[in-house]
Amino acid sequence: MSEEKVKEFGDLLKELRLQQGYSLNELSEKVGIYAGYLYRLEEKMKHSPPIPLVVQLAEFLGVDLNVMIQAVMESHRRRKLSGEENNVEKR
């Protein structure tokens, strides 16, 4: 039985954006977020994106919402395993 590897959210988002031919600026304008925030999402920011944004991106990019949610969960799992969530600076 082959097991398909679940991608992290940032990797999946970037792959979908590039497959559909959008620049960071174009996609950010289409979904109404800052290009810098979209860049940070793709580069594995240290917290999960808001679910309404995940829904909006899934709808716009034409991907099953479950696939996007799995990717968010995989990112969270990997951050937890690497200890990144416990290393957030307190201000």
Give the residue, 51 or 2, on which the prediction is more confident: 51
What pLDDT digit, counting tens, does each position of 26-71 carry? 999 999 999 999 999 999 777 889 999 999 999 999 999 999 999 9
pLDDT at 85: 53
How far apart CA 43 and CA 35 sit, in angstroms, is: 12
- Angle at the Cα of 53 from the Cα atoms of 82 and 47, rounded to 5 degrees: 20
CA distances from 90 to 50, 68, 75, 84, 85 (A): 21, 29, 22, 13, 12
What pLDDT digit, counting tens, does each position of 63-81 carry? 999 999 999 999 888 888 8
Quote the pTM value: 0.81
